[in-house]
Structure 1
Amino acid sequence: MVYFVRTASERDLDKVRALLVESFHAAYDAGYGAAKVNELVAHLFSPAALKARLAKKNAEFLVADDGRDIGGMGYAAMSDETTKTVMLYLLYVRPGLHRQGIGRDIFAELETCFPDAEIMRLEVEVQNHKAIHFYERLGFVEAGSNENDGPGQSGIPTLVLEKVLELH
């Protein structure tokens, strides 16, 4: 199948949510258990949370679509705290479609969507070695860590990765 990257719409959100649920369980059940993953998914990817991301200004919500199904998704937004920094919050590909270039294509599109950004930053779970390797191949380097143990946070430690963006 050939997947085309495009801007997400509200009609995509059910399929995006299903992709995120599948991806999160594949990535995190072994380390955190299905119950913790279900709790995270319910909070992070509720229909209301996805709609809010879709509507956010200075953000891009993309999907990789083959005409029948959503094979991947990405979401990034300009940082509210740091100038000239775009935060890559979500980049997931359906587990059965890994290593086919879908994630790379979504990233390539997101990378060009923020002409005022100089840095792209993301957080990745410290045990998610596949994701860390993927981002390192895209040019990201480690810039710190976050324990995420404050009120309302996931309690899942992450690495902070950054990439200097080429001027467009």
Structure 2
Amino acid sequence: MARRIWDVHYTPIIGQTQVDYMLGRFYSTEHISQQLAEGQRFYFVMLNGIEVGYTAISEVSPGNYFIHKLYLEIDKQRKGKGSVVFEQLLGLMEDLEAVRLQVNRQNLKAINFYFKMGFVIEQVADFDIGDGYFMNDFVMVYHPK
């Protein structure tokens, strides 16, 4: 599923070579096992019994959460499903103070979605992910009302 979503969505933004690198690095069995051991919780997004996306969150300190992944199949975007998933994620977060995430600065659809959900840009950051690749991201934060 990650391959299907990333190939369509991220190749125009970061190129196929970086997509391949990031999928190989961040979606290996070893890396996912490490993420689970570190407390990340993974969920599939289901629609009519079919997997149409996935998400991963973790609590980094009491009341402070990080959304590591929030992806939907391209044809399921812009139909309200992302908003529903985000609201469901909020329901899993106990004593919520803040939610943070990183989003590529060229990923305008996602940035606009997060603005709509109430996120604001907290910082601009470039993360070295090895082999000469960088994630050029906004760190965004959401505070419940």
Is the TM value for this pair above 0.5? Answer: yes
Q: Does 1:20 align with 2:38?
A: no
Q: Cα RMSD (Å) of the superposition?
A: 2.2
Give the distance between the partners of 1:108 and 1:101, measured in 2 at CA: 11
Q: Does 1:163 align with 2:142?
A: yes
Deviation at 1:98, TM superposition (A): 1.1
Deviation at 1:86, TM superposition (A): 0.2
Give matches, 1:104-119, under 5 Å. Answer: 104-119=83-98
Deviation at 1:49, TM superposition (A): 2.6
Q: Deviations over 1:17-67 (max 9, x none)?
A: xx211222222212322121111001111233334444553x432212235
Give matches, 1:1-168, under 5 Å. Answer: 19-54=1-36, 56-57=38-39, 59-66=40-47, 68-79=49-60, 83-149=62-128, 154-166=133-145
**Between 98-107 and 139-148, the greater mean CA deviation after superposition:** 98-107
Question: Please, what TM-score do these two structures have when normalized by structure 2?
Answer: 0.87
Question: Please, what TM-score do these two structures have when normalized by structure 1?
Answer: 0.76
Instruction: Report the secondary structure of 1:157's partner residue.
Output: strand
**Between 96-105 and 136-145, the greater mean CA deviation after superposition:** 96-105
Give the distance between the partners of 1:38 and 1:158, measured in 2 at CA: 18
Gaps of 5+ in 2: none
Deviation at 1:165, TM superposition (A): 2.4
- Structure showing the higher strand proportion among its residues: 2
Calculate percent identity across the aligned residue pairs: 22
**Between 154-163 and 21-30, the greater mean CA deviation after superposition:** 21-30
Give the distance between the partners of 1:84 and 1:54, measured in 2 at CA: 19
In the alignment of these two chains, the number of paired residues is: 145
Instruction: Report the secondary structure of 1:96's partner residue.
Output: helix
Give the distance between the partners of 1:151 and 1:72, measured in 2 at CA: 27
Contact kept, 8 Å, 1:71 with 1:102, in 2: the verdict is: no
